[in-house]
C-alpha cells in the first residue's frame, strides 16, 4: 500500500492513488489537472509534486455562529458554509 502526505490549503492529507477527497478551495476549473506539493512519499521525506484532477466545487454543511450577552438584549446569529474542492489523486 503506497501513500503520500500532501499539503494544500494549509492542511495536510494522507492520500493514495485513485482516492477522491475534499480539500479547501483551489482556483481551478472542474476537469482541470493540478499539481500539489507532497511532504512525504513512499516513506521518503522530500518535497515533490503530485498530479490530481479537479472533480468539482461545492460548499459544506451550514455552521451556525450565535453570540449572546445575557440581560443586555444583545444577540447575533450568523450562518457560514465553507467552500471546498473535490479532487481525485492520479
> Confidence class of residue 2 from pLDDT cuts 50, 70 and 90?
confident
pLDDT, mean of residues 9-21: 91
Instruction: Tell me the domain boundaries of the chain.
Output: 4-89
Helix (H) or strand (E) holding 64: strand 63-69
Residue 88: C-alpha distances to residues 65, 77, 80 (Å): 32, 36, 26
Cell of 57: 466545487
Residue 21 DSSP class: E
Cβ proximity of 49 and 36 under 8 Å:
yes
Residue 41 has pLDDT above 90, yes or no: no
pLDDT, mean of residues 16-26: 93
Q: Is the pTM higher than 0.85?
A: no
pLDDT, mean of residues 60-76: 97
Amino acid at each position: 500500500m503506497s501513500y503520500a502526505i500532501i499539503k494544500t490549503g494549509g492542511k495536510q492529507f494522507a492520500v493514495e492513488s485513485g482516492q477522491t477527497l475534499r480539500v479547501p478551495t483551489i482556483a481551478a476549473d472542474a476537469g482541470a489537472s493540478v499539481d500539489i506539493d507532497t511532504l512525504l512519499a513512499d516513506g521518503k521525506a522530500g518535497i515533490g509534486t503530485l498530479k490530481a484532477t479537479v472533480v468539482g466545487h461545492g460548499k459544506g454543511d451550514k455552521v451556525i455562529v450565535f453570540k449572546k450577552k445575557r440581560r443586555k438584549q444583545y444577540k447575533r446569529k450568523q450562518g457560514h458554509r465553507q467552500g471546498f474542492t473535490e479532487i481525485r489523486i492520479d
